[in-house]
Amino acid sequence: MKRITILTLFIEMFDGFMSNSIIKRAIAKGLVEIKLVNIRDYTLDKHHRVDSAPIGGGAGLIMKCQPLVDALMANKNDNSHVILSSPRGAKYNQKKARELNEKYDDIIIVCGHYEGIDERFNKYVDEMISIGDYILTGGELASMVISDSIIRLIDGAIAEESIVDESFENETLEYPQYAEPYDFNGDKVPDILYSGNHTAIDKYHRKQSLLLTKELRPDLFAKLKLSKQDIKLLKEAEDKEQPKWEKDALEKGKKFIKKDN
């Protein structure tokens, strides 16, 4: 079983996160344990404070080192991998989610809050992670993002085929998906998806995935190592002509293609 421990000042923020959808099912199946630790429980301050004004002046409040360190030490072991959500960290992505899932069975995520944390606490963490170049009130939302992305990769959490073709898994955006009806206000599902020819459908999906990535995420597209087939599919799109493989699939599968709702 994988264990994710989250050190936070706001445990109540996790109620909905842990009681819905994939996360709830993964917990019920015994695939993951999520332990919430209230940092405030470890403060030695008689008023239960976990923060103070920054030494040397400055805005806001800084989380104290003592309760953070004591909370961490009381909940970690030799195999724990400790993560601090921080703008200093490397930007989070699907590759990192896979790495965390595959390498670590015991993960601790520390949620910062207020204006920041005592600099001396940083030496107690194994790595810092940023979920994006923007400011959040605290690290709770970031810890949920990281936890969710890891849990859904655990074997048995969701169907394996649901993961394979997702956005970013192959360094591309996912191809367009459709649900019934065939015709919605004149906007129709591509006929090729009704052809029953899975080889042709796979080609169509790959082409659309490449085109979406090229249009919407040129930064990702620039990093792609295109195969010969990828290049051919993109050339087909550029020529704006229906390729032979698609024509053949449509001809053979025309009896399955819906022409009404």
- In order of 82, 115, 120, 129, the CA distances from 123 in angstroms are 11, 19, 6, 14
Per-residue pLDDT tens over the stretch 203-223:
999 999 999 999 998 988 998
Per-residue pLDDT tens over the stretch 19-34:
888 999 999 999 999 9
Per-residue pLDDT tens over the stretch 158-194:
876 555 555 555 678 889 988 888 888 989 999 999 9
- Classify residue 100 by burial, with Cβ atoms within 10 Å: 0-12, 13-18, 19+: buried
Alpha helices in the chain (DSSP H): 15-18, 21-28, 65-75, 94-103, 140-151, 160-164, 198-216, 218-221, 228-239, 244-252
| Residue found under tokens 């004591």 | 70
Query: Token pair for residue 58?
Result: 């400055």
pLDDT at 53 over 60: yes
- In order of 72, 115, 116, 135, the CA distances from 57 in angstroms are 27, 12, 13, 21
DSSP symbols for 74-86:
HH--TT-EEEEEE
* Cα gap 91→77, rounded to integer Å: 26
- 3-class secondary structure, 134: coil
pLDDT at 261 over 50: no
Beta-bridge partners for 90: 129
For the chain, the average pLDDT equals 90
Sign of the alpha-carbon dihedral angle for 190, 194, 198, 199: negative
Percentage of the residues of the chain whose pLDDT score is greater than 70: 93
Q: Which residues contact 245 (CB under 8 A, 6 or more apart)?
A: 199, 200, 203
Contact 256/198 with Cβ under 8 angstroms?
Answer: no
Q: What is the pLDDT of residue 47?
A: 87
